[in-house]
Amino acid sequence: MSAENAVSPQDLEDGFVPEPITASLDPEPSHATPVKMPDAPVEIPRDANAPRQRPRAVARDVGEAAGTGETAAGLPSNPLSTREAEAESFVPFVPPIRTHAEDLVVPLPQGTVAHDKARSLLTRFEARAAELNQAYREDRQLAESERIDARQLATKLDWYAMRWRNLGDELLNTSEARIPELIGFRGTLLAVVSQQWSFLASYATALRAGDKEAIDKALNEESRAEETLERARLYLR
């Protein structure tokens, strides 16, 4: 308080009441002295012998803890990126490889003993097969014209199936047919015998059961043996 505003004891005795002093706020903000920042970061000295700390790894995937390699539950510790996952699941399209029967057959050289034996076997095989196929077609026509019933046709089919097995044993299980040079040719003719026997046996079983679906399925296999026989002929082309 200044001297001119001081209150004396005499004033108090005379009943003088001083006015309260009110403080006013300075509307202008005080200005602090600016602090000058260093132009470059200050390097904190350290002990030259202290071990250097390795930088912490930065988390790259969602849920991975930085520097720990841990991930959220259910995720692998090192999951593939989206592009890598797509590359892993990529399956290249391979077009179907189309082959022809003649591409799978190596013809027997003409003028050789193997070629002559194969020619003889094929001639006898085709003659016996033609007889069996002709008899089968005649009996099937009888069944379609209802001159014999389904059970009678089934019995005839069993007989034809047995005749085909006999044909294979008589012609293809001989020492003449079992020479190494004819292994592919002989195997193809054996496949004809097997397919004919399977077709006739399945057809007979379906007829006895009266199963129309099984009958149609058996008839769809009828041409397989003829296709295989055509492949056997390619050995002698």
Domain count, the chain: 1
pLDDT surpassing 60 at residue 34: no
**Residue 143 belongs to some domain of the structure:** yes
**Residue 64 belongs to some domain of the structure:** no
pLDDT for 104? 73
pLDDT in tens, 41-85: 555 555 555 556 655 554 454 444 444 444 555 555 555 566 665
Q: Are 198 and 165 in contact (CB under 8 A)?
A: no
**Residue 53 belongs to some domain of the structure:** no
pLDDT in tens, 87-115: 556 565 555 554 455 457 899 999 999 99
The amino acid that residue 77 corresponds to is S
- With CA atoms as reference, report the closest residue to 186 among 118, 234, 126: 118
- 230: domain range? 115-236
Q: How far apart are CA 63 and CA 69, in angstroms?
A: 10
**Residue 126 belongs to some domain of the structure:** yes
pLDDT band (50, 70, 90) for residue 144: very high
Least confident of 20-29, 103-112, 139-148: 20-29
**Residue 54 belongs to some domain of the structure:** no
**Residue 196 belongs to some domain of the structure:** yes
**Residue 104 belongs to some domain of the structure:** no
